[in-house]
Amino acid sequence: MYRMTRESASIASGANSGAASVRAPNGRSPFVRSRELLGDTPPGKPPISLAVGEPQHPIPAFVGPIIAAHVAEFGRYPANKGLDEFGVAVAGWLGRRYELARAVDPANEVLVLNGTREGLFLAALAAKNWVTPRADRPAMLIPNPFYAAYAAGAAGAGCEPVFLPTTRATGFLPDLDALGNELLARTVAFFIASPSNPQGAVADLAYLEKLTALARRFGFLIISDECYCEIYSERPPHGMLEAAGPDFANVAVFHSLSKRSSLPGLRIGFAAGDRTFMRTFLELRNVAAPMVPTPMQHVAIAAYNDETHVEENRRLYREKFDLADQIIGDRYGYRRPAGGFFLWLDVSAQGGSEAAALRLWREAGLRVVPGRYLAREQADGSNPGADYIRVAMVHNNEITAEAMHRIVAVLG
């Protein structure tokens, strides 16, 4: 039986901010918990999994030929920093994609990653060594709900995870005004995702600038997860580097080809930003991180120099959200998200996230993730995800439409 251990909120200015601190964060996967919830219950219809955010779009045509052309390079150990050409491609893409105060230095401000998951985890460990010593118990601030690697990184770094509720009332982003000085003074890192997972909220530039100012005032690192940045309905989301000024101080951004290029199995991405942190990060990665095979880096170089496949990818997601607009309509508090490819549906009227998820499987054969499993209980016992389910819009239009109709048929 799952049980969350929690303690009172660690908020320097008092409990009004709603942040929660967990002494020993439960590390169990929300997907494992979802499988346990369903147990041996048979699906009511032929199964459709809408649980994992695994893109199902065709991979770009250039992937196979590039790997084949560089297959001999699997016979050599790659450098942890990445190919020089990879850094140049990433820096060039960042300069084209965002309005930066200056060009990114590929030699000192870019590192290759095996996707963002291991990068985000190890960045937390590196951040603990990078910041000046904290006067009190070091903390890492995490949006709630959140991507599980954030809490794992905080635990690995020996820091207190402080979960910041992201609800409709806060625009599904952490409320920066609710953070007390005492908490910020012991903060090592602040995890932020824009577009957010699971709600698809996008932070405007003023929000990012405000967060950057706090990071510099209190000396913590912003770990900005931007892996959904290329999936949006209207305007391209701003990035944290745009808010960081010409020195990129106190900022590290994390990107991946998993969502941008529909290449989740390639396991390649990058970190970029504050060069002093990148130096510390590379020192850790040289002894602890898996190296990225150079044939995969050559694929990434091509991907970051091509926008045609990204635009097509984005078009396919727009079509699926068009279907959600038509079929879901105004049910379950649905509003088309600004970014990402998830639906975050309010099922409080259907008994909450676990009851709705079980019912959708039992009656409709749909596998979704209960929002409760993507979040942590706050100090007052509430869970920001308890009333929601997350639905991944990763299949083709036909399967997506079928799934949406099943949701409406079951949940009403």
146-200, pLDDT tens digit by residue? 999 999 999 999 999 999 999 999 999 999 999 999 999 999 999 999 999 999 9
- Provide the pLDDT for residue 10: 34
Count how many residues are written for the chain. 412
- For the structural domain made of 29-58+309-411, what CATH number should be given? 3.90.1150.10
Yes or no: say if 179 and 140 are a contact pair by the CB < 8 Å rule. no
Measured distance CA(304)–CA(291) in Å, rounded: 20
Transcribe 36-71 into DSSP letters.
Answer: HHHTTPPPSSS-EE--S----SPPPTTHHHHHHHTG
**What is the band of 27 on the pLDDT scale with cuts at 50, 70, 90?**
low
Q: How far apart are the first and last CA of the chain?
A: 30
- Provide the pLDDT for residue 237: 98
> What is the average pLDDT value for the chain, to the nearest integer?
93
Yes or no: say if 111 and 141 are a contact pair by the CB < 8 Å rule. no
Yes or no: say if 205 and 42 are a contact pair by the CB < 8 Å rule. no
β-sheet with 139-144: strand ranges across: 20-21, 160-165, 139-144, 187-193, 221-225, 251-256, 269-273, 110-113
Residue with tokens 């450098």: 79
pLDDT > 90: percent of the chain: 92
**What is the band of 7 on the pLDDT scale with cuts at 50, 70, 90?**
very low
Tokens of 310: 């990204």
Yes or no: say if 385 and 373 are a contact pair by the CB < 8 Å rule. yes
pLDDT in tens, 224-273: 999 999 999 899 999 999 999 999 999 999 999 999 999 999 999 999 99
Q: Which CATH architecture has domain 75-307?
A: 3-Layer(aba) Sandwich (3.40)
| Residue environment code for 47-78, b if the CB has 16+ CB neighbours within 10 A, otherwise e | ebbbbebebebebbeebeebbeebeebeeeeb
Yes or no: say if 167 and 118 are a contact pair by the CB < 8 Å rule. no
pLDDT at 22 over 50: no
DSSP state of 311: H
Which residues are CB-contacts of 409 (< 8 A; sequence separation ≥ 6)?
364
DSSP state of 340: S
Do strands 251-256 and 269-273 pair parallel, antiparallel, or not at all (unpaired)? antiparallel
pLDDT in tens, 90-119: 999 999 999 999 999 999 999 999 999 999
CB atoms within 10 A of CB 102: 10
* Residue among 83, 57, 61, 7 nearest 296 (CA): 83
pLDDT at 14 over 80: no
Q: Which residue has the higher pLDDT, 135 or 278?
A: 278
Mean pLDDT of the region 211-215: 98
Q: Which residue has the higher pLDDT, 8 or 157?
A: 157
Domain ranges of the chain: 29-58+309-411, 75-307
- Provide the pLDDT for residue 28: 81
